[in-house]
Amino acid sequence: MSTQRPEPETETESAETEAEADAETPSERREAAKRRRAERRERERVEEEERAAADAERYHLKVFRYDPEVEGKQEPRFDDFHVPYEQGMTVLDALIYARDEFDVSLTFRHSCRQAICGSDALFVNGRQRLGCQTQLSDLDQPVRIEPLPHQEVVKDLVVDMEHFYDQMESVEPYFQTTDRPEEELEEQRQTRENREKIKTSTRCIWCGACMSSCNIAAGDNEYLGPAAINKAYRFAMDEREGEEMKQRRLEIVEQEHGVWRCQTQFSCTEVCPKDIPLTEHIQELKREAVKSNLKFW
């Protein structure tokens, strides 16, 4: 499914200019003119880049580029950017600099800058990471920045998250209990231990890094994947939902493309930016499922 990615060895070449002589309608002419201008800007950018590359205080990024609509970018490629380094600079800072100073069309998601919105998960030097949480100084140069693997690329570093959201939503990701306190203003009790037990599982920011790192998910599109299973864990282990609901949740994760697909490779756990012990949670659900089956057989 995912877009073919070239090896990032070649430096950027500006795309061949298309002959626009046969453009007929005004809108075609406009489009053609727009393309020409884009190409001119592209040349200027490459020149600027070459100047910047001579500067030793700069970090060298190789950034994946692809846009289905723009001629020069339909063929996936890597662009080089040299950004001036400042103490504490993150991968996201560097991308923002590259976009605002060199190429306004460079596209990536980001918002919070503090590892909580989950929108800037990227594949940086061969590993899934949040751009905003990754210091440039921790990385070897050139820093290679790509969209999350195993996801359809929409444009540049932006991937289609629909499938991920669908999987998250397929596990009934909402609290369900029939056992409410009688008093309206009375909360349901939860022990500190129980909250502690679910704590790490509640930290998921839906970044998709785990899913992207998982070989099983890559091969089996229906596999729930680590994030969705973790979401199920979050509720199954919450004592406030009660035993009956827990059984139901176990049934959900036990389905054909559920927990049993996991082959304990730990790649999800390794990349999760919120340090959620995903593999452990999946294992625990497997054990619970076995236990509850034993009860019935």
Partner 1 sequence: MHEYDVIVVGAGGAGLRAAIAAQEAGADVAMVTKLHPVRSHTGAAEGGINAALRDGDDWEMHAYDTMKGSDYLADAPAVEALTQESPEEVIQLEHWGMAFSRDDDGRVSQRPFGGLSFPRTTYAGAETGHHLLHTLYEQVVKRGIEVFDEWYVLNLATTDEDDPDERSCHGVVAYETATGNVEAFRARDGVILATGGLGQVYDHTTNAVANTGDGVAMAYRAGVPVEDMEMIQFHPTTLPSTGVLISEGVRGEGGILYNDDGERFMFEHGYANNDGELASRDVVSRAELTEVNEGRGIEDEYVHLDMRHLGEERIVDRLENILHLAEDFEGVDGLEEPMPVKPGQHYAMGGIETDEFGGTCIDGLYAVGECACASVHGANRLGGNALPELIVFGKRAGRHVAGEDLGEPQVTAGRTPNAETASVDTPVSLGEPWGGEGDAVADGGAAADTATAVVERALDRERERVERLRDRDEGAQHADIRAAVQRTMTENVNVFREEDALKEALVDIHAARERYRDVYVADPSSTYNTELIQTIETRNLLDIAEMITVGALARDEFRGAHWRKEHQERKDDEWLKHTMVSWSDGSPELWYKPAVLEGEAKTYEPKERSY
Residues numbered 217-236 forming contacts with ligand SF4, rule: CB under 6 A = 226-227, 230
**3-class DSSP state for residue 214?**
coil
Report the alpha-carbon distance of residue 97 to residue 100 in Å, rounded. Answer: 5
How many residues bind to ligand FES according to rule CB under 6 A? Answer: 13
CB of 273 to ligand FES, least distance (A): 8
Least distance from C-beta 275 to ligand SF4, angstroms? 8
Q: What are residue 214's phi and psi, to 5 degrees? A: -90, 120
Structure tokens at 98: 């590259």
3-state secondary structure 76-114: CEEEEEEEECCCCCEHHHHHHHHHHHHCCCCCCCCCCCC
Q: Which of 17, 74, 111, 188 binds ligand FES (CB under 6 A)?
A: 111
Q: Is residue 200 within 8 Å of 277, Cβ to Cβ?
A: yes
Contact 153, 162 (CB under 8 A): no
3-state secondary structure of 143: strand
262 binds ligand SF4 (CB under 6 A): no
Binding-site member from 113, 127, 203, 248 for ligand FES (CB under 6 A): 113
Task: Check residue 208 for interaction with ligand SF4 (CB under 6 A).
Answer: yes
Site membership for partner 1, residue 32 (CB under 8 A): no
Span near ligand SF4 by CB under 6 A; candidates 74-82, 134-142, 150-158, 203-211: 203-211
Query: Does 124 interact with ligand SF4 (rule: CB under 6 A)?
Result: no
Query: Where on the phi/psi map is residue 103: left (φ > 0), alpha (ψ -120 to 50), or beta?
Result: beta
Helix then strand count (H, E) for the chain reads 10, 7
Task: Please enumerate in sequence order all residues whose Cβ is within 8 A of that of 160, keeping only pairs 6 or more positions apart, or say none.
Answer: 151, 152, 153, 154
Give residue 36's identity as a one-letter amino acid code.
Answer: R
* Segment near partner 1 (CB under 8 A); pick from 169-177, 214-222, 254-262, 286-294: 169-177
Select the binding partner of residue 230 from ligand SF4, ligand FES, partner 1, none (C-beta < 5 to 8 A, by kind).
ligand SF4
Choose the stretch contacting partner 1; rule: CB under 8 A; options: 46-54, 181-189, 263-271, 285-293: 181-189
The piece of 11-19, 172-180, 198-206, 238-246 that touches ligand SF4 (CB under 6 A) is 198-206
Give yes or no for a cis peptide into 142 (omega within 30° of 0). Answer: yes
Q: Which is nearer to partner 1, 170 or 260 (CB)?
A: 170
Q: Please name the residue that has the structure tokens 């592209």.
A: 42
Task: For residue 278, state whether it binds ligand SF4 (rule: CB under 6 A).
Answer: yes
Q: Which among 281, 147, 160, 150 is positioned nearest to 226, based on CA atoms?
A: 281
x/- track of binding to ligand FES for residues 120-139 (CB under 6 A): x---------xxx-------
- Asked if 83 is part of the footprint of ligand FES (rule: CB under 6 A), the reply reads no
Residue 129 CB, shortest distance to ligand SF4, in Å, is 10
**Which of 38, 89, 115, 216 lies at the binding interface for ligand FES (CB under 6 A)?**
115
**Site for ligand SF4, rule CB under 6 A:** 204-210, 226-227, 230, 272-274, 276, 278
**Site for ligand FES, rule CB under 6 A:** 110-113, 115-120, 130-132
